Amino acid sequence: PDRLSFAHRSELRQAKRIVVKLGSAVVTRGDECGLALGRLASIVEQVAMLQNQGREMMIVTSGAVAFGKQRLRHEILLSQSVRQALHSGHNQLKDMSLPVLEARACAAAGQSGLMALYEAMFTQYSTCTAQVLVTNLDFHDDEKRQNLNSTLQELLRMNIVPIINTNDAVVPPPEPNSDLQGVNVISIKDNDSLAARLAVEMKADLLIALSDVEGLYDSPPGTDDAKFIDIFYPGDQQSITYGTKSRVGIGGMEAKVKAALWALQGGTSVVIANGTNPKVTGHVITDIVEGKKVGTFFSEIKPAGPTVEQQTEMSRNSGRTLASLHPDQRSEIICHLAELLTERQEEILAANKMDMDLAVNAAMLNRLSLSPAKLNSLAIGLRQISVAAQDSVGRVLRRTRVAHNLELEQVTVPIGVLLVIFEARPDCLPQVSALAIASGNALLLKGGKEAANTNHVLHKLTQEALSMHGVKEAVQLVSTREEVEDLCRLDKMIDLIVPRGSSQLVRDIQRAAKGIPVLGHSEGICHVYVDANASIDKVLKIVRDSKCDYPAACNAMETLLIHRDILRTPLFDQIIDMLRTEIHAGPRFASYLTFSPSEAKSLRTEYGDLECCMEVVDSMQEAVDHIHKYGSSHTDVIITENEDTAEQFLQQLDSACVFWNASSRFADGYRFGLGAEVGISTARIHARGPVGLEGLLTTKWVLRGDGHTVADFSEHGTMKYLHENQPVGQPLAGQRDSN
């Protein structure tokens, strides 16, 4: 054709002329009792919005049959003097037996009502519509086709949305259809091919075909192995198995695909998606036009690399081999990666320079920039991780002699597939890779666009290191094109998400990740409580360090709580003098003051800057209550010389980190001596506070018997439970033997 369809979803944003095809399942409700009014209204809303953006929208609609059926049924019921039936209650209307209604008559009867509805709805958006009835034959007659074309062009020119339907009244009677069991309407085929023909004829950029299926699967949905197809290439067609059943009014997936491929060949991109899913209907069309992963996208150009789903599969498989390696082998891989970071630094720095040249500001330059010194210290860190790798996977945590010859072990194992999302800093890539390798996990990495070149090289080196033990594919770098939101939807494939970056990134991911656990913290509202018995020196040192050392950190102090007794003391003045930060006063503190700093808007604010909130409390107990109420359970500090008060605080306060006479800034994996840090977690389960390698591990239970059954242990059985705890010193037999 003279036009080419779009190669990537992201290009769909450029689509100017768009055909939206509504299958009858979208327009009518599942129970066939009427129109899916809310659904239709949402779709009209989206089409009108896109039209108002300056796009040229066309609608190909089904549903006139159901509409007419509803109307005719009503007429017939009324003629059966049905007022009583209407009053006698529940579902009467549905239960009454009705004659089989002819589809073409239904369509004719329904057409006017359907159009009136579209018109009423579009009017709300000041958008004009026009009704166009066509038959497939109109496309075969050149003159008719040209007439249709010029009419539609004229409508589009006048900013009118053409609403196109088949002129069913003039088509031949439908053939009896095997799909018909139990439904008293004779179906006519959906408008798939009509929409495709129209889209190509009108040189539309995009055809969105909405029905009640999510899109295309490689086998009939619901079967064991059915996989959803995100992007369909014409060459892949033989790998699809179509189901034999199709529902009434839906043209069947095979027909849809045929029509889609026809449109694609004609230069129109196609997306087949679900227009009936209540969770997305309100934005399915706009999402598609924004390039989001919705439905199945048809593309002529098959990209060179694997899809992210294939990458996940590859990394899981390769990760399983990685997990079964000897700990020494995992250490070797990490050491080799450390070597490559220094050996191949020229290559790395060259790629890094390309990224730096594109950086837009100094802050980004700073985050992006690598240097021989940085690579060197990265390598040192990696060697530390390689040591930790010796004692991570396969550690026996518990060993129990359940009975004679029945031995139970609880052993550490990797969690599975990790998705780590990081922003501009490329040094994150080897660090995170080393952590994943040390813990035997498969890893998907998603880095920022800004560091694409550096990340590419670093990932290549990581795979080179992995290759030495045949597990190259365990660490995958996801294309920067993939949306974080789309990745977070792979909940059947990914076991844990670790965001590394700003708290905004963490928050976004926690919101997006439905069903996948996220290891991280989004808030750090840390408190320092200055007790009545605090040492002046310690207060000044610790408060300054907690707030000013690095104010943007999550473990920086946000609220300073002060015991009432020190309000009018020299210590108080010294604290105020020292804190050269903007101070917001809590309501109680404000009431004590003669000078007046601005009142804090909320006692739950994370300032993340040289700004903090001050509040007064009567006692250690009140400080604890305040922190429980307004804190984020991250890190909280008491400064006091009274050991009893301190121990009460440490014991009562329910935060991930509780400190006595030490800066809140110590809440950090490295400072805690955990070696490599995965992150800081404010979740209550799994891992809490600074998380080391063990946050990437889970356990499994291994039971070795000799034909034991639970029946042996029943009342009349021959065996008794011993449940003797054994020492856990030795390595797991399986690990020992595997080399």
The residues in 637-656 that bind a copy of itself, with binding defined as CB under 8 A, are 644, 646-648, 650-652, 654-656
Taking the C-alpha atoms of residue 90 and residue 88, their distance in angstroms, rounded to an integer, is 7
What is the Cα Rg of the chain in Å? 33
Among 52, 479, 504, 621, binds a copy of itself (CB under 8 A): 52
Which span sits near a copy of itself by CB under 8 A: 237-245, 354-362, 367-375, 597-605? 597-605
Whose Cβ is closer to a copy of itself: residue 477's or residue 612's? Answer: 612
Residue 135 within binding range of a copy of itself, rule CB under 8 A: no
- Based on CB atoms, which residue is closest to a copy of itself, 62 or 546? 546
Query: According to the binding rule CB under 8 A, does residue 17 interact with a copy of itself?
Result: no
Residues making up the chain, counted from first to last: 739
Q: How many residues sit in the footprint of a copy of itself (CB under 8 A)?
A: 117
Segment contacting a copy of itself (CB under 8 A): 42-50, 100-108, 357-365, 612-620? 42-50
Q: Could you tell me which residues come within 8 angstroms of residue 83 by beta carbon, excluding any fewer than 6 positions away?
A: none
Rounded to a whole number of angstroms, the minimum distance from the CB of residue 172 to a copy of itself is: 30
Burial code (b: 16+ CB inside 10 Å, e: under 16) for 48-62 equals bbbbeeebbbbbbbb
CB 418 within 8 A of CB 446: no
Q: Rounded CA gap, 394 and 387, in Å? A: 15
Among 316, 400, 330, residue whose Cα is nearest residue 738:
330
Kindly state the helix (H) or strand (E) to which residue 34 belongs, with its residue range: none
DSSP 453-464: HHHHHHHHHHHH
Give whichever of 306 and 517 is closer to a copy of itself, judged by the CB atom: 517
592 is an interface residue for a copy of itself by CB under 8 A: no
The token pair that represents 145 in the structure block: 């086709």
Residue 176, H or E segment: none
Interface of this chain with a copy of itself, residues 80 to 99, rule: CB under 8 A: 86-87, 89-91, 93
Stretch in the footprint of a copy of itself (CB under 8 A) among 13-21, 411-419, 476-484, 565-573: 411-419
Distance CA 465, CA 328 (A): 14
Chain positions 148 to 167 lying near a copy of itself, rule: CB under 8 A, are: 159
**Smallest gap from residue 359 Cβ to a copy of itself (A):** 27
Which sign, positive or negative, has the C-alpha torsion 84, 86, 90, 93? Answer: positive
Applying CB under 8 A, the span of 299-307, 478-486, 522-530, 668-676 interacting with a copy of itself comes to: 668-676
Please say which residue, 136 or 648, places its beta carbon nearer to a copy of itself: 648
Q: How many CB atoms lie within 10 A of CB 492?
A: 9
Residues 524-553 that bind a copy of itself (CB under 8 A): 535, 537-538, 541-542, 544-546, 549
DSSP state of 185: B
Least distance to a copy of itself, CB of residue 38, Å: 4
Does residue 723 belong to the site contacting a copy of itself (CB under 8 A)?
A: yes
Cβ–Cβ < 8 Å for 487, 478: yes
Question: Which span sits near a copy of itself by CB under 8 A: 32-40, 95-103, 262-270, 445-453?
Answer: 32-40
Residue (355 or 473) nearer to a copy of itself, CB: 473
Name every residue whose Cβ is closer than 8 Å to that of residue 609 and which is 6 or more positions away in sequence.
Answer: 551, 552
Q: Which stretch binds a copy of itself (CB under 8 A): 118-126, 189-197, 473-481, 525-533?
A: 118-126
Site for a copy of itself in 341-360 (CB under 8 A): none
> Please, what is the angle between helix 536-548 and helix 570-578, to 10°?
20
Q: Using CB under 8 A, which of the segments 164-172, 197-205, 251-259, 659-667 binds a copy of itself?
A: 659-667
Subset of 219-258 contacting a copy of itself (CB under 8 A): 223-224
Give the Cβ contact number of residue 303 at 10 Å: 13
